Structure 1
Amino acid sequence: MRLSIIAVIVILNLCFQSVNAQSEQIITEDFKPSSLNQPEKIFPQVNSQRRVRASISATNASKVQLDIGGVKYDMLKDRNGVWTGESNPQDEGFHYYQLNIDGASVPDPGSLYFYGAGRWGSGIEIPSTDQDFFALKDVPHGLVSENIYFSKLTNSFRRCFVYTPDGYSENLKTRYPVLYLQHGSFEDETGWSSQGKANLILDNLIASKNAVPMIIVMDNGYAFKSENKEVKDPSKQRESIFEDVLIKEVVPMIDAKFRTIAKREGRAIAGLSMGANQTMRIMMNHLDTFSYYGGFSGTANYPSSDAIDVSSFLNGKYKGGNALNKQIKLFWLGLGTKEPAPFPKSVGAFRNMLEQQGIKYQYYESPETAHEWLTWRRCLKEFASKLFK
């Protein structure tokens, strides 16, 4: 009799577990159009569970999937040939995504397009609990301008986007410090002002007097020496000359065209991921040009290593912490708490090296974010609030 009672209890527990598991899969029907939809488009949508729902008309397709966060979700077709499907809950913040129609990955025609992953594609915003700091608010706004220039080093036309704070056009005698801010791999100079909301972050910081009014320059980190097409070897990787382009062309151009504080004390440089790697090398090679550094989700020791040989790393430029502490006004690092490998290990090894050399730095962790734009927006907010003070 006792065994029978125990068996019944076990069966009931299993049933309750099954019911709970099913209830976790129940989709809350409070979907709303994404804030990044094209005008008048109803889809894609996001609900309170942070699920993404996409929909597309593809009458002749045999299989359609929603591809987001590295996972593909099957969508279902109705009698009118409209496919609809949902994702699992996503992390807060901005995410690239696409639709896969019979094996072909395409942008969702309902969303705005952003340059990331080496292509123009769809993006969606999962509302975050702290989104107020990058929200479009009723505060004085600066201007983001497109600046086209011819680069003799690359023998090509290039462009950078420049943020000037509110009042720049009126206060004609005021000069401003400059932050050179770089994007990540497979992104471009549009990233920080579109996905990154850099201008809105600075507008809000400046309006609340939590940041000094500054200029921000956002250039394309992909720059290569012009090659003779007749002798070009497609098997060889092209050598980046972005450092030369920035130092020899962009910085002088910005100082000539804008009212800058044209000395090292008036310049900062920062970047995310690939941009963190690039800007760290540029900073250490040109301490006569920059005095503030910010590395978001990356350092120059990529791929990661368990330990860094300070004598050989960047040609020994981190030897002698006391001298660097006098030259660098702020050395700042930021990382998301959910960053994938190799970033935590890489940044951790770099921090250990800094501490062994007695180099002062500040470190910030973005809670519950990975290698994504919400991490970098938060990093910019924290970093910019400490600049030029």
Structure 2
Amino acid sequence: MKQLQLFLVIGALLGGFSFTNAQQTIKEDFQPSTLNQPGQEYPQVNSQGYARFKIMAPAADSVKVSLGLGGRGGTILHKNADGSWTGTTEGPMDEGFHYYHLTIDGGIFNDPGTLNFYGSTRWESGIEIPAHDQEFYALKDVPHGQVHKILFPSKVTNTSAVAYVYTPPGYAKDQSKRYPVLYLQHGWGEDETAWSNQGHANLIMDNLIAEGKSEPFLIVMTYGMTNEIKFGGLKTFDITPFQTKLVDELIPYVDSNFRTIADREHRAMGGLSMGGMETKMITLNKPNTFSHYALLSGGVYTPEDIKDQSGIQLIFLSCGSKERPERIKSATSALKNTGVNVVSYISEGTAHEFQTWRRSLKELAPLLFIN
């Protein structure tokens, strides 16, 4: 458990930017990031993955762009005669989505040029580095599902708790059809909006279903930090409140209010980072609730963890190639030797970040509910 905690904390999803090591001549083909506010020219990205920032702060003495928790490290911006501050990352960044914020004279601020996303327990600025494989989560002219915001009664939180439910294309038309469900958890410092906003889970599913690569199913996303665990405090995490919220409150509500196939064989749970840790704990504690397990940069299962294989249809393990792929490969081999249906996936060229998890969902979805 200590190893899992260290793994999750070191790679924490706050992590900001991950640079490649190669030094190269920077191409001046910068374009505004796709996540910019309407009409805003900065931040910008180029074809190599460099990012360039411009901030108006005429009274400031120092401005930098954060690369991680608390603004440690980062890209130092330089002041221009007009009071603006500009700077370019030292190296190209990994493909996909990244959180960041500004540190101006010691204070932390968001970049007014870009949209905000909930991560690291606050609303952070976001930037998107175009990926060579971005078509799988692109908005295309295909039938689209819907993402519903629901409120469900929760004694654990002593209020109405929030969840988002993705229903696949055609859900509203055929009132006789029922669907399997994937309960999908976010990482530390995020909330129930992460998989839709940062992860594009709905678009990934729309595209896979349109291409005939995945069975249609519901995805349910809810807030998993019931204990309000602070960064670095995973050793004090108690799964019981969230487990009760999910298994005893949310699942019955979803089964009562959506057309689900309400049995273990048609119910999956997965999560990224800390959500993977929650997934492992709950699936082992409640073996009769889920039949498909998925840990995305969230640790591994071992043969010793699996007391009874009979109800497990799939275990899916993934991470980025810049994380600990050897651990995923070793666990996969060990589980296969015991007869478990296990599939692993390594996202090439990415770390503990959303491009890893977008790709992981793309690989996971076609494997679910096919037996």
Matching of residue 202 in structure 1 with residue 186 in structure 2: no
Q: 1:331 aligns with which of 309, 315, 334?
A: 315
Tell me how far 1:372 sits from its aligned partner: 0.5
Aligned partner of 1:82 in structure 2 is: 84
Tell me how far 1:344 sits from its aligned partner: 4.4
Tell me the secondary structure at the aligned position of residue 250 of structure 1. helix
How many equivalent pairs are there?
Answer: 338
Q: For the Cα contact (< 8 Å) 2:147–2:165, is it kept in 1?
A: yes
Higher relative CO (Cα under 8 Å, sequence separation at least 6) belongs to: 2
| Aligned counterparts of 2:135 and 2:126: Cα–Cα separation in 1 | 19
TM-score (ref. length: structure 1): 0.82
Aligned partner of 1:318 in structure 2 is: 306
Aligned partner of 1:91 in structure 2 is: 94
1:348-384 per-position Cα deviation (integer Å, ceiling 9, x unaligned): 6644653564433111111111110000001101100
Tell me how far 1:347 sits from its aligned partner: 4.0
Matching of residue 388 in structure 1 with residue 369 in structure 2: yes
Please, which runs of 5 or more residues in structure 2 have no aligned partner? 1-21, 229-234
Aligned partner of 2:13 in structure 1 is: none
What's the % identity of the aligned pairs? 49
Aligned partner of 1:66 in structure 2 is: 65
1:95-147 per-position Cα deviation (integer Å, ceiling 9, x unaligned): 11111111112111111000111210101110010000000111111100111
| Aligned counterparts of 2:284 and 2:311: Cα–Cα separation in 1 | 10
Tell me how far 1:163 sits from its aligned partner: 0.3
Q: 2:120 aligns with which of 110, 117, 120?
A: 117
User: Given the superposition, is the C-alpha separation of residues 113 and 133 from structure 1 closer, same or farther in structure 2, using an over 3 Å criterion?
Assistant: same
Q: For the Cα contact (< 8 Å) 2:300–2:317, is it kept in 1?
A: no
Aligned partner of 1:280 in structure 2 is: 280
Please, which runs of 5 or more residues in structure 1 have no aligned partner? 1-22, 226-235, 302-307, 311-316
Q: For the Cα contact (< 8 Å) 1:271–1:295, is it kept in 2?
A: yes
Quick check: which has more Rg, 1 or 2?
A: 1
1:198-230 per-position Cα deviation (integer Å, ceiling 9, x unaligned): 0000000001110111110001111249xxxxx
CA RMSD, Structure 1 to Structure 2 (Å): 2.1
Q: For the Cα contact (< 8 Å) 2:153–2:249, is it kept in 1?
A: no
Q: 2:340 aligns with which of 352, 359, 362?
A: 359
Matching of residue 254 in structure 1 with residue 250 in structure 2: no
Matching of residue 141 in structure 1 with residue 144 in structure 2: yes
Q: For the Cα contact (< 8 Å) 2:314–2:340, is it kept in 1?
A: no
Tell me the secondary structure at the aligned position of residue 375 of structure 1. helix
| Aligned counterparts of 1:330 and 1:352: Cα–Cα separation in 2 | 14
Aligned partner of 1:263 in structure 2 is: 263
Tell me the secondary structure at the aligned position of residue 71 of structure 1. coil
| Aligned counterparts of 1:347 and 1:25: Cα–Cα separation in 2 | 32
1:255-306 per-position Cα deviation (integer Å, ceiling 9, x unaligned): 00100011111111111111111112211222222111111112267xxxxx
Q: 2:349 aligns with which of 343, 368, 380?
A: 368
TM-score (ref. length: structure 2): 0.86
Paired amino acid for 1:131: Q
